[in-house]
Amino acid sequence: MVKHNNVIPSSHFRKHWQNYVIKNWFNQPARKTRRRTARQKKAVKIFPRPTTGRLRPIVHGQTLKYNMEVRAGRGFTLEELKSAGIPKKLALTIGISVDHRRKNRYLEEEIANATQLQGPYLPIVREKPTVELVKATDELKSFKAYDKLRVERMNTRHVGARLKKAAEAEKEEKKYRA
């Protein structure tokens, strides 16, 4: 046996050297055709259902940052399925995702999602807004957009309290008049 911390004689293979040898990809074209045929077989097997996964609705993002963006949602609401004329249990079997918790409060969106269920699958199209170039005036330069947004957000938050306060003030005024 070898003693002490000396060099191992002759073969210095301490690591598993086969793992560090260059891997050849001679099976790449065959693997490609195999994957392709597997995809085709799967498409035939799951036929009325879509191959790219369940059909998902187009929804808007939640927060202030993303609420202008549209994306694929978790599932269609029960109202959307009802307006499309598809029962809930059937929807899951034909590859339509269902989310019983989601609430859709906008009629236009509900109609759009219902038509998505009835007709061909429509991809999400993100429209780029057209921008007009305007000369920068002193008024535009002095305008503080962030401050304006904060003030407007505060106004919407306090609208109920302010109405209540105004009603109470009016009540007090009537009391003093009488």
**Which range in 19-33, 95-109, 149-163 is most confidently predicted, on average pLDDT?**
149-163
Instruction: Indicate whether 11 belongs to any domain.
Output: no
Which alpha helices (DSSP H) does 46-134 contain, by range?
A: 78-84, 88-93, 107-118
Token pair, residue 77, equals: 């609401």
Collapsed DSSP state (helix, strand, coil) of residue 135: coil
Q: What is the mean pLDDT of residues 4-18?
A: 77
In this structure, the answer to whether residues 149 and 111 fall within a common structural domain is no
Instruction: Indicate whether 130 belongs to any domain.
Output: no
Average pLDDT, the chain: 89
Instruction: Indicate whether 153 belongs to any domain.
Output: yes
Residue 136: is its pLDDT beyond 90? yes
In this structure, the answer to whether residues 85 and 38 fall within a common structural domain is yes
Q: Could you give the percent of the chain with pLDDT greater than 90?
A: 53
Give me the domain span that covers residue 71: 33-124
Instruction: Indicate whether 25 belongs to any domain.
Output: no
Instruction: Write out pLDDT tens, residues 89-105.
Output: 999 999 999 999 998 88
In this structure, the answer to whether residues 75 and 152 fall within a common structural domain is no
pTM higher than the cut 0.75: no
In this structure, the answer to whether residues 94 and 144 fall within a common structural domain is no
